[in-house]
Structure 1
Amino acid sequence: MPNPLFYAKILLFGEYGIIENSQGLTLPYSFYKGTLKFSDLTSDFEKKSNQALIKYAQYLEGLDLPKGFEIDIPRLNKDISKGLFFDSNIPQGYGVGSSGALVAAIFERYAVKKHNPENISKEELKNLKSVFGMLENFFHGKSSGIDPLICYMNLPILIENKENVDRVAIPEEVYGKGAIFLIDSEMTGETGPMVQIFFEKLKNDGFRKTLKEEFIRYNNACIDAFLRKDMNPFFRNLKKLSLWAYEHFRPMIPEKIFNIWKKGLETNAYYLKLCGSGGGGYILGFAKDYEKAEKMLEGFHKEVIYRF
């Protein structure tokens, strides 16, 4: 049986907002992927990955996972001693779910009870999300469990609120003028410190108020319009969302992205938003006319993830 591949994920909408109960929309991204493999650990990459798995297995041993979601730790340890490693091209610190793919791969192979992603109920999805949060806490300090869930399900997921998630159909891609794309900030970001900054900001009543009354409203409106493929309200709310982030998420926006973020808002040629927690990694771009945006963003490495 071939090794299952676990793809990266893109959080299109919901960064930070989902902590405060906003909706979120996330999709698998097959350009990057990872799988568990065995080797004689001759390369540095394989050696490092194997050593990281030793530490991770020790962490898992200390977890009290709910019934039906336990991990076969002895089998995992045995395989690690035989040269198990995670072969992945998913960049770390880029907001595309490198640890989520690893957690999903470990769960898929070593969960005592097998779960079939194709016929998981909404209630089971909720339980899986919670278990994946426990499994991913090792990497982020506090995880929502969303990233591993996306990687495991390999389907677009609508985050309805803190508790509930469901599968969702996104509009079929058509090769039109518009595009959603990634911009490489050429620096890695660390989730932990960024999330810490956000929690510090939340202590300010004014920030909490504008987050709930503006950011979450624009964010949810974008998701609703995108799923209905209603592009006029989509871009109208997207501009408000991008401007809000430019004003309130400054520490999360990589320095070399500031100017192009502002330029997008001034020209309306494209709009930018964070992809995950920010601080580095990828930034998300949205343009009605991608060719025009591409010319304006010359010098930056871009990857198109969806056309419309």
Structure 2
Amino acid sequence: MSKFYSKILLFGEYSIIKGSQGLAFPLKKFYGELKFPHVNTSKPEHNLSDFCQYISGRGILANLLDTDLFRSELEQGLYFDSNIPIGHGVGSSGALCASIFARYSKEFKRKKTYTQSELKYLQDLMALMESYYHGTSSGLDCLISLIDKPVFIRSRNDVESIEDLPKHKMGHFYLYETHIIRKTAPLVHTFLKDYDQSQQVREGVQRFSQLTNELILSLLQAKKTIFDELFSQISRFQYLNFETMICDNIKAFWLQGLESKEFFVKLCGAGGGGYYLVYSPNKALSYPNLTKIDL
């Protein structure tokens, strides 16, 4: 069966909720795939029966997916084998939903290009599926895993797949492992509460959104000097304004980057644990807890 990769929201965390653009990539370092257990081996504990029941009770999903086959294969021991870290902001449930949709869909086939209307349709279906795990979902994590392409998010309802990005002209990207599992919902709740209650926060988010949009544009246009400067500005802005989302065990490293300008750190998704994104404009890094990633 096919592999479905994790994802990384490169830019747009939090600001995308309030209308900024976003840029997300499949992260090929981690993946999951549906499997049947081998003889004389015990399968991991992945209970998909309740998920199958959930899909069966959602009219549009039940019509589009072959739930009878899904149920039959579960009885044969089907499970989701994954090395995607849970609670790290790289889309573990998104890859699971994408793998199930692709296997049991009566009409979907992966292809090289998608129209915007096709992407919006798939995103809505993915959102409905992943809501089983998160209560609510944008569907973006699942969509990226499903189509296995970078996605440019102009707005929450306007996404476009990207074929060629000049990322090879940029510097080096890394994930910083905090070894802390976190949950997204409480962090987003705090952000929205602060946004609603403070004019200063709203003005800061507006500035952050502007920086995010400019940063994405500089990457799309391969303007490295501008990209490097904007990345450093976002790193500084988050260090000063997103304290709740920054783990204690990365603060000194984050500040070291800002002061030395050797590298810059930013949130990777909601923050609060899991992975953080590190960017080095020029030289390769060799610090503890860092893993180089290829976008």
TM-score tier by shorter-chain length is over 0.9
Which of the residues 213, 216, 235 maps onto 1:223?
216
Which of the residues 56, 59, 64 maps onto 1:64?
59
Which of the residues 167, 176, 179 maps onto 1:183?
176
Runs of 4+ in 1 over 4 A off after TM superposition: 40-44
CA deviations on 1:104-135 (whole Å, 9 max, x unpaired) are 00000111222433243211101111111111
Instruction: Find the aligned partners of 1:42 and 1:134 in 2 and give their Cα distance.
Output: 37
Instruction: Check whether the contact 2:6–2:26 (CA below 8 A) recurs between aligned residues.
Output: yes
TM-score, normalised by the number of residues in structure 1: 0.89
Instruction: Find the aligned partners of 2:146 and 2:40 in 1 and give their Cα distance.
Output: 29
Structure 2 counterpart of 1:10:
8
The residue identity in structure 2 corresponding to 1:270 is F
Instruction: Find the aligned partners of 1:161 and 1:279 in 2 and give their Cα distance.
Output: 25
Structure 2 counterpart of 1:161:
155
Residue 171 of structure 1 and its aligned partner are, at CA, apart by: 0.8
Secondary structure at the residue paired with 1:290?
Answer: coil
Structure 1 counterpart of 2:146:
152
Residues 1:237 and 2:235 aligned together: no
Residue 27 of structure 1 and its aligned partner are, at CA, apart by: 0.9
Instruction: Find the aligned partners of 1:42 and 1:98 in 2 and give their Cα distance.
Output: 27
Instruction: Find the aligned partners of 2:75 and 2:86 in 1 and give their Cα distance.
Output: 24
Aligned residues: 293
The residue identity in structure 1 corresponding to 2:50 is K
> Identity percentage over the alignment?
33
The residue identity in structure 1 corresponding to 2:239 is Y
TM-score, normalised by the number of residues in structure 2: 0.93
Please identify, of 237-246 and 149-158, the stretch whose mean Cα deviation from structure 2 is larger: 237-246
CA deviations on 1:191-223 (whole Å, 9 max, x unpaired) are 2222222222221232122202x1100111111
Instruction: Find the aligned partners of 2:50 and 2:61 in 1 and give their Cα distance.
Output: 21
Structure 1 counterpart of 2:49:
54
The residue identity in structure 1 corresponding to 2:49 is I
Instruction: Check whether the contact 1:32–1:89 (CA below 8 A) recurs between aligned residues.
Output: yes
Structure 2 counterpart of 1:35:
33
CA deviations on 1:168-193 (whole Å, 9 max, x unpaired) are 1211526x8x3011111111121222
Structure 1 counterpart of 2:203:
209
The residue identity in structure 2 corresponding to 1:20 is K
Structure 2 counterpart of 1:303:
291
The change in CA–CA distance for 1:203 and 1:172 in structure 2 (over 3 A counts) is closer
Secondary structure at the residue paired with 1:188?
Answer: coil
Root-mean-square deviation over aligned CA pairs: 2.1
